[in-house]
Structures are given as C-alpha cells and as structure tokens.
Amino acid sequence: MKSYVILISGRGSNMQSLIDAKLPGRCAAVISNRPEAAGLAWAAERGVPTVVVDHKAFPDRDAFDAALAAEIERHGPDLVLLAGFMRVLGRAFVERFEGRMLNIHPSLLPAFPGLHTHRSVLEAGIRIHGCTVHFVTASLDSGPVVVQAAVPVLQDDSESALAARVLAQEHIVYPQAARWFLEDRLSLVQGRVMLAGETSGNGTALRSPQG
C-alpha cells in the first residue's frame, strides 16, 4: 500500500478533508512546523502519527529544511501533501521531493500567488476566483497545475464569505488529486502533468508512465 505524509501549520482543514476522503493509501504522519497547530490534535485523535519539527529550533531555513526532509524520509512516503503549511521551502528541499509533492493554493494560478488572495481578488474586482492543486517547484506557487476549481465572486462578497466558498472546493479537488497520484494515474514528466485517461486536444489519451 502506498503512503503519504501531510504538512500543516494550523488547523489543517485540508488535512482533514484528505484523511476523511479515505484515500487509497496510508497516512504515515502529519508533520507540523508549529507545536501549537490545532490540526495535530485532530490527527492524533484519529490514530494518525503526529510529529513537530519546530522551525524556531533551527538557526536558518537550510537547517530546518534538512531536518524536515529527514523526518519525511523516515516515514518513506510516496507522496508529500502541503496542507496550509506556511513555510517557504528551499530549492534543495523541493528538488528532493520533485514529482511527488503537491500543494493547494487558494487562487486560480498563475493569478494571485502568495498570501491574502481573497482580499486581492476583491480589491481587483475579479469576477471568478477559485483554487489550484499543483506540483511544488522551487518558484513559489508556480508549479505545474494538476486541477483547478472556480467559484463566482458575488457583488456583496466579504473576504470571509469568499474564502469559505473557495475552501469548500479545495476540500473536493485536493483529495481528488491525491487519489489520482496514489492510484498511479497522475505523474510529472519533464515538467508536464500527465493524467491517465485524460484526453488531449487531438483526441489522444494521455497516460502516466505506470499506464
């Protein structure tokens, strides 16, 4: 059976959606960079091993990245899932897990990378917003897109109302992307996302290396 680890920094609502989805694999651990992260208690109550690698305990980002990578490798996961993990990871870390690390971002990338996406969308007067699951690369929020979900921006939307509408879609598409990967349907080949059974523009079925 394949396994995965989830990285969190807070309450971990996307972590909860991933675990509740009963993915075709074992959650080997939930790892947080913050000992007070509320998601740790939620995971522990469900029998999922939890670990803290506190970034404040390390002198710099490289040292933290090395310790975090070693902890992940200790669990031997096939897939690493970032779920509200609020640390920028360095190039060496990202390259170590290239092709097997996914992230969920609350915008329709490449639009609105970084933080405060809902506020930025409202300020810009954008009418369509959403979320993106992507493979993680060394460039922030710039990895190859796996799947996206769109929601309308309503005229009387507040930042919190819009965020809630997007989050509901995150809880759908992130487990789906993880499921594709764990079922050997999703892969990253020379920087391009390949999904088994997907049809390209010329009608050709795209397949992952596993078939």
- Catalytic residue annotation: 105
Measured in degrees and rounded to the nearest 5, phi and psi for residue 83 equal -135, 85
- Token duo for residue 107: 């915008």
- Roughly what angle, to the nearest 10 degrees, separates helices 38-45 and 13-20? 20
3-class DSSP state of 23: coil
Task: Read off φ and ψ for residue 52, nearest 5 degrees.
Answer: -115, 125
**Token pair in block for residue 46:** 């469900």
Q: Do residues 11 and 169 touch, judged by C-beta distance below 8 A? A: no
